[in-house]
Structure 1
């Protein structure tokens, strides 16, 4: 018997309630984006779930969406004023201790623990929807893009993790600091030489360790897709988009890989009203 079996059983009991609360967060984001004509689309495992399962991947515990960088700036401004009560906008640019440079909309009446969470920092740790900012990419070979983005994202991650004073930490600082600077310089130089930025779009470099690139015509103009019985924005060609991410995306992974990512999650701290109810009351 596994030592963590009771926790895993608890996670499974909580999963659906947590998914539905995250769905409510997505509805709130969608309402703001439609009201202000802000472009977004379902991304990653959320888009995969919509296509393959008609909703959440059964073992998935998060929601991912993407926005062009400029659209995210607009969203951040209006969302701070228009998010329903119980939701907060969270950004690594404004809060210390966040482990990833990703904008999130968090529910404050829930609790989520993930690998790498920093409990020494007092940032919100409720259920959330991830918002990934996308930027234009130069017309470079995919293998070169992957090599550079992996170097940038890995170096950034190591440089921003907590370090104790040691010779190893000092060596890491100089090694990965140099690697980060060199990769960024190469990217800037090649981007200036290969100026074609009307073909590809993808996540910002520090979030793109896999070197993924999407053709712009697979994303725009964004369309609609059904997710958990509701309509949300989606890439223009979901099949091409998902093949860029997962290749054979319709293949179901083996049982041992169908795992919840969170260490611990709790759908509600006090049994109060759901986010979706708050969204409806504000509509």
Structure 2
């Protein structure tokens, strides 16, 4: 018997409901300050396919246009309750290029956690900043977007140094700069306004969404409550997952976290 997996299964629903509470706070702040956001990734998929969380999912994903994400970063620290914290690359050294709203009285361990770094590791909602893309082909986006994201990830994670590691860092550093140059050229010579997606270093799958599949934003039911969603959820999810209504086999229905605990101190 896998006791850790059984423990995570026992904690999962309580963790999901706590994350739902975080999302409600984000939604409240965004409504108050007219900040655009929408359910993204597995959370949007869960809303469409399951009416809420994917049964084995243990986080929530939302997206914001980059300008809205900047405004959220300005107002959220003053608006969030004392039990929650906005975590950004500028405020905590998480080595992740995204914002999270974290719950302080919980514990969530991902596979790439660095316990030598003192950053909050509570339950969270991921906030992905979205930008306009140039009118490039999807093949271009997959090639240079995936490569740039992969190189960035390698360069920004801890290493045990050796001559081989140093050589790899030079190699991936050069590839990263080349991909960055190709994207700069695309932004300089191609029009924008048709496509939108994650900031380049986050776009590990090379995905582009048509803006008219996102805007004007609609709403969708998630766990009995309504939250912002892309205008065309079918097109958006097809971009992400292709045949998104297909339930994965049982062996792939895995909880993402290494360890989850919904409450550290009983209240």
Query: How many residues in Structure 1 have an aligned counterpart in Structure 2?
Result: 267
Question: CA-to-partner distance for each residue in 1:35-65, whole Å, 9 max, x for gaps?
Answer: 0010000000000000000000000000000
Task: Trace 1:144-223 onto structure 2 (pairs within 5 A).
Answer: 144-194=140-190, 196-223=191-218
The equivalent residue for 2:40 is 43
Alignment of 1:6 onto 2:3: yes
**From 49, 55, 59, the counterpart of 1:52:** 49
Q: Which residue of 1 aligns with 2:118?
A: 122
User: SS of the residue aligned with 2:160?
Assistant: coil
Unaligned runs of 5+ in 2: none
Q: What root-mean-square deviation, in Å, do the aligned CA atoms of Structure 1 and Structure 2 show?
A: 0.8
**How far apart are the structure 2 equivalents of 1:42 and 1:166?**
42
CA distance in 2, matches of 1:73, 1:190: 24
Equivalent position of 1:278 in the other structure: none
Q: Which runs of 4+ in 1 moved over 3 A?
A: none
Deviations 1:47-86 (A, max 9, x none): 0000000000000000000000000000000001000120
CA contact (8 A) 1:99 1:116 kept: no
TM-score normalised by the chain length of structure 1: 0.93
Q: For residues 117-172 of structure 1, what are the alpha-carbon distances to aligned partners after superposition, in whole Å with 9 as ceiling and x for unaligned?
A: 01001100000000000000000010111100111101101111112231011101
Distance 1:191 1:79 in 2: 31
- C-alpha separation between the residues in 1 aligned to 2:90 and 2:174? 23
Per the alignment, residue 230 of structure 1 pairs with 225
SS for the counterpart of 2:58 is coil
1:138 corresponding residue in structure 2 = 134
Report the more deviating stretch, 165-174 or 139-148: 165-174
Give the Cα–Cα distance (whole angstroms) in 1 for the partners of residues 81 and 212 of structure 2.
34
Cross-structure match for 1:279: none
